[in-house]
Amino acid sequence: MIERAAPATIRDVADRAGVSTATVSRVLAGIGNPKPDTAAAVVRAVQELGYRPSGVARSLRMKRTRTLGLIVTDIQNPFFPELVQAADSAARGLNYSIILGSAAYDEHRAMHYLDLMVDRRVDGLIIASSQLSDESWQWLLASPVPVVVVNAEPNGLPVPVITSDNVGGTRLAVDHLVGLGHRRIAYIRGYEGFTADLPRVEGFRRACADAGIPVSDIVEIRGDGQFEGGERATAELLASGTDVTAIVCHNDVTAIGAMRAIRAAGKHVPRDISVVGCDDIAAAAWVVPALTTVAQQKAEMGTLAVEWLAAALDDPEHAGLAETIRIPMILRVRESTGPAPA
């Protein structure tokens, strides 16, 4: 294997400018006040050589990589790209950069990225994935790298958590439907083990109870958080003859699947059955009828996570307070909900 042309080093610059590496470093960092001649010589040498400082060497010396790791459940799940983009923008603003890992719903992959990022010496970690095993969590909490969890709630671990107010969010959906006269409502749950599943169904139950809807009038079905799960669950629901007038879904993708099943059964949304999703992915506004949904503030979550980490890195005291931040969700009424049929 042949050597590729080696990039210029600070030594090369120093030699060409006729100064020491220390001076080059100082000029580039803007430390001290060098003689104008010296500074100019350095700058010229840098340009002539096309010198770019090695982040690797700098990281080694500084013991900081100015890099944040972000592990998401699945980048192909339309929920995440917006969060990733926002986190990345926030990081850029604070002079960090993000390295991304997509677990693709696989625990092994999640742990692989965890190892990778720790080995790469990221300064902090954002975990937006429920794919981590308990041992991984233990290990992570014992490790020196600051962690913040997004959109998941590891059971009772002393970790800062940034998540949506899932309970309140589902309540928004139910209240909206109840306001439209619905009383018989189904809930399609997400993948079992997905951390948002429990709080959302809990919010659904509580909101129904508060609205005076008897337990016998509600029905819960297990989906999988994917299109197919929503379609299948709804098809079974309709085939079983249970007559609900509205369906609340764990997320938008499920809801879109549900709408397709409803149409396939010859019924109309929202005339016969209203459907509400959750997340507010782009496709929610594209489908016909456009999906009424409870929006998660994904960008805010990504931004907050990065800002929290950056603050913790500047001031480790800050890392002490492992509070849980719940970001409110927002009801977006579109076309998939309407008055309950008489």
Partner DNA sequence: GTCCCGCACGCAATCGATTACGGCCATTTC
Partner DNA sequence: GAAATGGCCGTAATCGATTGCGTGCGGGAC
Q: Treating both helix axes as pointing N-terminal to C-terminal, what angle do 36-49 and 10-17 enclose, rounded to 10 degrees?
A: 130
Q: What are phi and psi of 180, to 5 degrees?
A: -90, 5
Comparison of 190 and 230: residue with beta carbon closer to its own copies: 230
Which residue lies nearer to DNA by CB, 19 or 269?
A: 19
Is 187 in a helix, a strand, or coil?
A: strand
Site residues (CB under 8 A) for its own copies? Answer: 1-2, 4-7, 50, 52-57, 59-60, 63, 65, 75-76, 78, 81-82, 84-85, 88, 92, 97, 99-100, 102, 104, 112, 115-116, 118-121, 143-146, 227, 253, 256-257, 259-260, 263, 282-283, 285-288, 314-317
Instruction: Specify the residue for token string 């929920």.
Output: 79
Q: Which is nearer to DNA, 109 or 121 (CB)?
A: 121
Q: At closest approach, how far in Å is the CB of 205 from its own copies? A: 28
Q: CA-CA distance, 322 to 309, in Å (whole number)?
A: 12
Q: Which does 11 bind (CB under 5 to 8 A by kind): its own copies, DNA, none?
A: DNA
Judged by beta carbon distances under 5 to 8 A according to partner kind, the member of DNA, its own copies, none in contact with residue 321 is none
Q: Is 276 in contact with 248 (CB distance < 8 Å)?
A: yes
| Token digits of residue 178 | 């109840």
Binding residues for DNA, rule: CB under 7 A, are 6, 9-11, 18-23, 25-26, 28-29, 31-35, 37-39, 51-54, 56-58, 60-63
Q: Rounded to whole angstroms, what are the CA distances from 289 to 99, 171, 178, 249, 251?
A: 37, 22, 20, 16, 16
Q: Which does 128 bind (CB under 5 to 8 A by kind): DNA, its own copies, none?
A: none
115, with CB counted inside 10 A (0-12, 13-18, 19+), is exposed
5 versus 321: smaller Cβ distance to DNA: 5
Residue 100 contact, options its own copies, DNA, none, Cβ 5-8 Å cut-off depending on partner type: its own copies
Q: Which residue has the tokens 């001076």?
A: 23
